[in-house]
Amino acid sequence: MKNWKIKKGHDFRIRNRHPWVFSNELLDSPKGILPGEPIELTDMQGHFLARGYGNPHSLISFRAMSFSTKENFDMTAEFLTERLLQAWRFRHRSGFRKSFRLCYSEADQMAGLIMDRYVFSKEGQAYQVFSFQLLTSGMDRAFKKDDTWQIIVQSLVQRAQEEGLSSMDWEHTLILQKNDVSIRKLEGLEVEEPQILRAVDNCDLHDIKIEVQNVLQPEQDVFFDVNLVEGQKTGFFLDQTFNMRLVLEHLQRQKPYLQGRKIKLLDLCCYMGQWSSQIVNNLKSWGVDCEVHLVDVSELALEKAKNNLAAYGVPVFTYKKDVLSLAEVSELASQKFDIVISDPPAFVKNKKDLPQGLAAYAKLNTQAFKMCASGAVIVSCTCSGSVQLDDFKEALRKAVLKSGANARCLAYGGQGWDHPHLMSFTEGYYLKMVLHQID
């Protein structure tokens, strides 16, 4: 394993377990290694700091995978399988049994790997899908060399069965690779089309109904008709479970005020209807009647969301529209809603976009607050990692003021329990949610 030294005075972050080292922090040039090659990082005196992998073509030249000299680190299939198993054990301990984020990159000491597990059934038989993204040269090389991905996932499935984490075997396991994200370019990697690496029993990942636990009653399932191949990220968003539970717990306390009338729900940037389905599932179980209005720019998303809500027998109205132009939708402008969800895509991709992005959040939420009925609950989200909570709160303050609403802030939320982050790595904390209620 090659050794790199970090410059004097540049070791503060890595000593505090931040997993990235930039090229200008290294004593020597990172050139001369293969992308993804294992590296041991030391200080100027040769004292151990971390082990991980390097990339001579990236500004982030070193990514830590281990901070312990006692750990026999390498990038073999056996090592990576054990890391994934540790991540699965963590989620299992937190109660995740169906579809969930299995590996979240740096938070699971697997820098550069995102992996979700989806569960579905076909003709009475249960299946699982492992959908993953390789975001860095290290993970790309480790998974693709000699098709090591198959060894890793097959071993993971077998070990998970043996430990009681899952009842599903390799014969009922599908694999989807989703390297269609532009961030790969920063690592000198190509953006690739989604690829089904392993298909089973003619299951079509373009059209399956995955099972997700009810966020309020985990022993019950909520079903989603999804297109994992063409869907965003790994195919579906699973990161809002904590926020959904927080909102539903608040609604549950207000059941006496919700019953006996039709609740109107507005879901802005609905995607495939995750928020609406979870809320309607629980409202119906409480005997609360409702109708849902879905807004999204994607025809595919609206179609899937409408299908997902069809099972509950509630009226559903769809609007293919940019949410920043809600005032142009006459059918919505004249209505008031009891529950409003504002969960847009990231308006801020990097720090230079911050002023423009915060203005967009303020504009969207101004419109959303204006559409709230008296007593309405409104959920405002940002998934922009570059947006700090205080920045988002300021955008919402402006929105409340401009809308003329009398709104009280009730709670703050964040990523679900299967999307943990490290205090030493704030870049992993991206999702923020603010819950208001109109007076």
Give 395-427 pLDDT, tens digit per residue: 999 999 999 999 999 999 999 999 999 999 999
Residue 172, both tokens: 């009922």
* pTM score, whole prediction: 0.95
- The pLDDT of residue 67: 96
pLDDT-derived band at 258 (thresholds 50, 70, 90) equals very high
Helix or strand (DSSP H, E) at 369? helix 354-370
pLDDT-derived band at 145 (thresholds 50, 70, 90) equals very high
Residue 177 has pLDDT above 90, yes or no: yes
Read off the pLDDT of residues 306-318 as tens digits, 9 standing for 90 and up.
Answer: 999 999 999 999 9
What percent of the chain has pLDDT above 70? 100
- The pLDDT of residue 331: 87
Q: Which CATH number fits domain 2-66: 3.40.50.11540, 3.30.429.10, 2.30.130.10, 3.40.30.10?
A: 2.30.130.10
pLDDT-derived band at 350 (thresholds 50, 70, 90) equals confident
Q: What is the DSSP pairing of strand 113-122 with strand 48-54? A: unpaired
Residue 328 has pLDDT above 90, yes or no: no
Q: What is the DSSP pairing of strand 2-5 with strand 38-42? A: parallel
Residue 135 has pLDDT above 90, yes or no: yes
Instruction: Report CA 219 to chain centroid distance, whole Å.
Output: 22
Full 3-state SS string of 114-141: EEEEEEEEECCEEEEEEEEEECCHHHHH
Read off the pLDDT of residues 220-233 as tens digits, 9 standing for 90 and up.
Answer: 999 999 999 998 89
Q: Considering the chain, what is the average pLDDT of its residues?
A: 96
Instruction: Answer whether 77-213 and 239-438 agree in fold.
Output: no
Nearest to 173 by CA among 112, 107, 115: 115
Residue 86 has pLDDT above 90, yes or no: yes
pLDDT-derived band at 329 (thresholds 50, 70, 90) equals confident
- The pLDDT of residue 437: 98
Residue 54, both tokens: 């390097």
- The pLDDT of residue 316: 98
Contacts of 270 (CB under 8 A, 6+ apart): 276, 294, 295, 296, 301, 302, 305, 341
- The pLDDT of residue 351: 86
pLDDT-derived band at 282 (thresholds 50, 70, 90) equals very high
Residue 270 has pLDDT above 90, yes or no: yes
pLDDT-derived band at 188 (thresholds 50, 70, 90) equals very high
Rg of the chain in Å (alpha carbons): 23
Architecture of domain 239-438: 3-Layer(aba) Sandwich (3.40)
- The pLDDT of residue 82: 97
CATH 3.40.640.10 applies to domain 77-213: no
- Per domain, the residue ranges of the chain are 2-66, 77-213, 239-438
